[in-house]
Amino acid sequence: MLYSDVVNAQRDFYQSGQTKDIHFTLSQLTKLIQVLKANEARLYEAINADFGKSIFETYTTELGLIYHEIKLIKHHLKKWRSPKRVPTDLANWPGKSYIIPEPLGNVLVIGAWNYPYQLSFLPALTALAAGNTVILKPSEIAGHTSKVMTQIINQNFSKGYFHVVEGGVPETNSLLSHRFDKIFFTGSTRVGQLIYEAAAKHLTPVTLELGGKSPTFVLKDAPLKITAKRIVWAKFLNAGQTCVAPDYILVEKSIEKDFLKELATEIDRQFSFKENLPPNYVRIINQNNFNRLIQLVNHEKVYHGGQIISHLKVIKPTILHKVSFEDAVMKEEIFGPVLPVISFTDLDNILTQVKKLSKPLACYIYGKNKKRVDKIINNLSFGGGMVNDSVLYLTNPNLPFGGVGFSGVGAYHGKAGFDTFTHYKSVLKKPFWFEPPFKYPPYKAWKLKILKWIFE
Ligand code: NAD
């Protein structure tokens, strides 16, 4: 079978027990930082070649988050990896009970292209931190970043410990024909379902970080200038190719007109297209996505933007208004710089409509009335979200990051990431000196009475 060599090398290395040595893990995490730092220029160059991403954004949305996560892990790893003593109940007295963290073993990480470094390295390094070995398969759609990741990792880490495999669907399928102890996938819901199926054959646990249509509520008491500023930044970062980007806006009718004006003003302020492309605006990753996105721009509903620079695969930040749930743009995750705005007059009605859609990865609410904000939080199910800002919640490592329903299975970041790649083994230790007769046959009424007293 293809890739048997690397899979077997990782199995053997895991069985050697070295990955369970915390000193080994910490030294490998330090090495990973050194390797990334030494190759930063190449990493910046590759991502720029893939979709024109600036150094600033690559640092703040990719490398910076990776360094931050390693720092946090190194600080807590000893505690996270230590067995924990827990109380022993009366039925099991006398005894000592422990929860012992244990790595799962050999992990496969499959990455997405839109934040190629972060979405590949964050899960991979967390799996390593928990004591696993990792095969990483980045997305072939961002070919330059996939290549540079392969080179720098495979030159610096042993094949049996951390290895990158380049490729697309056939290569992923070959990898999936092997048995892994864990598969961590980031990508679309459609492919996530295929990964889940393939994993089920080996009863391999999965974490699926998927997408969806993340709503953004703008309530009538939200200060419009700052609300527009924050939404425009979050939506058009990476040209909307962000899994947690605000997908569409639900604004209260009474402020719709003023809010649309503020959105347009803010777009012009953040992205000055007067000459050529602004340096901080990325292009659409490939022709397929570009073609898909331009079909979603209904020119009769364009409020602002709508211009397309085909030879550069650029769609300028676009606001659509007078949108309804029946429009094509509301039927799929947009994943691009097109922002539909739907107005509403009754919060309960709009919540009923949103609840009919699949559970989204994120939800954002802008407004000051705590009762109404909490009503949205408590009525809708979503992976995670924010009040009065967007996207940034995922940078807090104390918040588990993941979806729910069609937007994902499982979570990671910080301790939640460590848990994702860890089996918690329960062990109860008993002494020989105490041997009560209750549990043994022959069963008697007096034995049952004592057991009932203990249990009830
Ligand atoms: P994708 O599902 O097309 O690809 C993801 C990975 O799966 C790639 O490595 C690809 O090579 C592989 N793949 C593709 N088709 C496959 C198949 N038929 N069989 C096996 N493997 C296959 O997703 P994408 O286009 O890279 O990313 C966009 C999607 O990912 C969006 O829906 C977005 O919301 C979601 N996403 C989610 C997160 C998150 O953290 N939840 C982050 C980024 C992107």
pLDDT given at position 276: 64
Q: Give the pLDDT band (50/70/90) at residue 417.
A: very high
State whether 186 and 268 are in the same domain: no
Which band of pLDDT confidence, cut at 50, 70 and 90, is reported for residue 5? very high
Where residue 273 falls among pLDDT bands split at 50, 70, 90? confident
Going by alpha carbons, the residue nearest to atom 27 of ligand 1 is: 187
Does the annotation count 363 as an active-site position? no
Q: Is 209 noted as a catalytic residue in this protein?
A: yes
* Domain, as residue range, for 339: 215-400
Q: What pLDDT does residue 143 have? A: 97
Together in a domain, 39 and 81: yes
Question: pLDDT tens digits for 117-131?
Answer: 999 999 999 999 999
Q: Is the Cβ atom of 335 under 6 angstroms away from ligand 1?
A: yes
Residues 149 and 279 in one domain: no
Listed residue (184, 172, 60) closest to 115, CA to CA:
60
Q: What is the dihedral of CA 127, 125, 75, 19, to 10 degrees?
A: 60
pLDDT average, residue stretch 377-392: 98
Same domain assignment for residues 195 and 311: no
**pLDDT band per the 50, 70, 90 thresholds, residue 272:** confident
Q: What is the mean pLDDT of residues 435-441?
A: 91
> Bridge partners of 135?
108, 163
Helix 40-51 × helix 22-38 angle, to 10°: 60
Phi, psi dihedral angles at 202 (to 5 degrees): -105, 10
Task: List the catalytic residue out of 57, 102, 197, 243.
Answer: 243
Q: 349 CA to middle of ligand 1, Å?
A: 33
Please tell me the residue having the least CA distance from ligand 1 atom 40.
209
Confidence at residue 105, expressed as pLDDT on a 0 to 100 scale: 98
Q: Are residues 119 and 179 in the same domain?
A: yes
Residue 448 above 80 pLDDT?
yes
Asked if the structure places residue 197 within a domain, the reply is yes
pLDDT of 277 strictly over 80: no
Residue 355 confidence (pLDDT)? 97
User: Mean pLDDT throughout 86-105?
Assistant: 96
pLDDT tens, position by position, 102-111: 999 999 999 9
User: At residue 263, what are phi and psi to the nearest 5 degrees?
Assistant: -60, -45
Write down the pTM of the prediction: 0.96
User: 164 and 201, same structural domain?
Assistant: yes
Residue 167 near ligand 1, beta carbon < 6 Å:
no
By percentage, how much of the chain surpasses pLDDT 70?
99
Q: What is the pLDDT of residues 140-197, one digit of tens each?
A: 999 999 999 999 999 999 999 999 999 999 999 999 999 999 999 999 999 999 999 9
| 247 shares its domain with 204 | no
Quick one: which atom of ligand 1 is closest to the CA of 361?
Answer: 41
pLDDT value at position 275? 60
Other beta carbons within 10 angstroms of residue 80's beta carbon come to 17
Same domain (yes/no): 334, 351: yes
With respect to residue 86, please indicate whether it lies within any of the assigned structural domains: yes
For 291-332, how does the pLDDT look when each residue is reduced to its tens digit (9 = 90+)? 999 999 999 999 999 999 999 899 999 999 999 999 999 999
Q: Residues 273-277: what's their mean pLDDT?
A: 66
Q: Which pLDDT score, from 0 to 100, does residue 279 have?
A: 72
Going by alpha carbons, the residue nearest to atom 4 of ligand 1 is 187
In a domain, 434, yes or no: no
- What is the number of domains present in the chain? 2
What does the CA dihedral 342, 343, 346, 348 come to, rounded to 10 degrees? 20
pLDDT tens digits along 331-379: 999 999 999 999 999 999 999 999 999 999 999 999 999 999 999 999 9
The residues that bridge with 91 in the sheet, in sequence order, are none
Spatial distance between the Cα atoms of 218 and 202, rounded to a whole number of angstroms: 45
Residue 405 pLDDT exceeds 70: yes
pLDDT of residue 1: 79
* Same domain as 183, residue 41: yes
Residue 447 lies in a domain: no
Residue 274 pLDDT:
65
Ligand 1 in contact with 104 (CB < 6 A)?
Answer: no
Q: Using 50, 70 and 90 to split pLDDT, how confident is the model at 2? A: very high
State the residue for tokens 């901080």: 280
User: Which pLDDT score is estimated for 280?
Assistant: 80
CATH code at position 205: 3.40.605.10
